[in-house]
Amino acid sequence: MSTITESNAQEVNTSSEDNVNTQTIKTTLTIEEIQELLPHRYPFLLVDRIIDYVPGKKAVGIKNVTFNEPQFQGHFPGRSLMPGVLIIEAMAQVGGIVMTQMPDSKGGLFVFAGIDKVRFRRQIVPGDQLVMTVELLWVKQRRFGKMQGRAEVDGQLAAEGELMFSLIS
């Protein structure tokens, strides 16, 4: 896995006192850049773009929900609804952007270790744009992390919950 540091980036001062060492960190990521960081691929890559990224703290991603996605063939015929498990998975993938770029996490795979306090507040249907904000709450032993996730459509809360991750080799 690689750390993204290219154009469309902000300068981050990583210096101490008089020793100035500046590096650039991208604050937005395209689908191609997301695929460099996450192992997911179609039809299970559920993040189209990262629109805000703060290293070690949070990421905001979007998912454009379209009618031709495979889950809508059976969930539900005549009344397409995005399954809750896919909403949570999409939030987790946004969280994965933060986790994969943490120091000393290179070469491993982050998987779910737990999900707490998840609530669904609004249905998500084809045509919606899901905006997911995932903030890091804590990291332990560089192997476990907990994040708070929120998914919104048109400024309305659609789902929220706490996501726990574990690094496996």
Is 40 among the residues known to form the active site? no
DSSP 35-79: HHH----TTS----EEEEEETTTEEEEEEE--TTSGGGGTS-TTS
Terminal-residue alpha carbon distance, the chain: 13
Structure tokens at 116: 């707490």
3-state helix, strand, coil in the chain (%, to 5): 15, 45, 40
Q: Which of 40, 45, 54, 75 is catalytic?
A: 75
Asked if 155 and 130 count as a contact pair (C-beta separation under 8 A), the reply is no
- C-alpha to C-alpha distance for 96 and 23, rounded to whole angstroms: 22
Structure tokens at 159: 């789902």
Is omega for the bond preceding 43 within 30 degrees of 0, making it cis?
Answer: yes
Could you give the residue numbers annotated as active site? 75
